[in-house]
Amino acid sequence: MTDKPTILVTGGAGYIGSHAVLALVDGGWPVVVVDNLTTGFRWAVHEKAAFVEGDVGDVAFMEDVLRTHGVRGIMHFAGSIIVPESVENPLKYYRNNTANSRALIEAAVNAGVPHFIFSSTAATYGVPEESPVREDSPKQPINPYGMSKLMTEIMLGDVAAAHPLNFCALRYFNVAGADPQGRSGQSTAGATHLIKVAVEAALGKRSHVGVFGTDYPTPDGTGVRDYIHVSDLAAAHVLALEALMAEPARNLTMNCGYGRGFSVLEVLDAVDRVTNMKVERRIEGRRAGDPPALISDNSRIKATLPWVPAYADLPVIVEHALAWERKLSAIRGS
């Protein structure tokens, strides 16, 4: 038996959520997963985690889950994450990311859950006025995805001031890679993450990789991003949970990145080297809502948590993503 309390992971059948479940289970935490399986996969949920299929936006349902399982902390990953889609369908994002988060927060307050960790994003910054970008930099989202997440951060701040709940908002930069043990990875069909797309192309699952914009004010004209290994990100969530439990009056907002940026072309070059082949690149126009560069200042998280990234190496991230893509082919028989 463990003396650790039960943690709810919403979206635990999805990419980042499933890795957070792995980190929690590996650390001896009891876990319950709620996922509606619209984009997640039942097989991605660790066998030691309890699984409940359902809608995070249903207050009564979520309150019942929280009470039934004696949940004391929530990691909230459920939501929509595709920037161009958010521009085309903003109401979907304000429902899935903002309204559903509001419902979950209400259920947490009603059930007396004291700790809440929120999956936020660097998209809250929009086009940063400085680089690397700090947590106190202006929040000026340029797409509904970023705005939907920022609105939830604001809600959490207001609720934490009014109720016995503390929170941590972790602003992700570009998450990539897969569990080093091959237990989970990015499995969504038609994913838009660059490294996922590139390893799919390397294995013949796609004909090419689109390079969206070569006229940005960056060294090679392509977008620059701070790529973080998903397992390092998951580890940060567990450490953040422990920090919230240690100081119940403390709220945290922290960037999750390595503080180093790579351009689209640099990433594709790395994929070519790891796979020992040339992935076809096709130059296309800029995508709506994409800033030229997003690089984290990660000094706050390093000063606040005992977080030491284990996989802060682009070729390693690519290798793990490639290994998962091969395993996924075997799982699906393709």
Is residue 1, in this structure, part of any structural domain at all? no
Same domain, 172 and 274: no
Do 239 and 318 have their domain in common? Answer: no
List pLDDT tens digits, range 23-43.
999 999 999 999 999 999 999
Per-residue pLDDT at 290 = 80
Instruction: Classify residue 333: in a domain, yes or no.
Output: no
Q: What is the pLDDT of residue 333?
A: 66
pLDDT computed for residue 84 by the predictor: 85
Q: For residue 238, count CB atoms less than 10 angstroms from its CB and return exposed for 0-12, middle for 13-18, buried for 19 or more.
A: buried
Residues labelled catalytic: 145
Structural domain includes residue 185: no
d(CA 55, CA 292): 35
**pLDDT reported for residue 306:** 98
In this structure, is the dihedral angle defined by the CA atoms of residues 124, 128, 132 and 138, taken in order, positive or negative? negative
pLDDT score recorded for residue 189: 84
Range of the domain at 163: 6-176+227-256
The residues of the chain scoring below 70 in pLDDT are: 1-2, 333-334
Say how far residue 249 (Cα) sits from the centre of its chain. Answer: 25
Q: Which residues, at least 6 apart from 246, have a Cβ–Cβ distance to it below 8 Å?
A: none
How many structural domains compose the chain? 2
CA distance 6 to 29: 6
Do both 72 and 209 map to the same domain? no
Residues 209 and 235 in one domain: no
**CATH code at position 278:** 3.90.25.10
Residue with structure tokens 């005992």? Answer: 306
| pLDDT tens sequence across 85-95 | 999 999 999 99
Name, in order, each residue with C-beta under 8 angstroms of 14's C-beta and a sequence gap of 6 or more.
35, 39, 40, 44, 77, 78, 188
Q: What is the CATH number of the domain that holds 243?
A: 3.40.50.720
Helix then strand count (H, E) for the chain reads 11, 14
Q: Is residue 334 part of a domain?
A: no
Q: Which residue has the tokens 């004696």?
A: 70
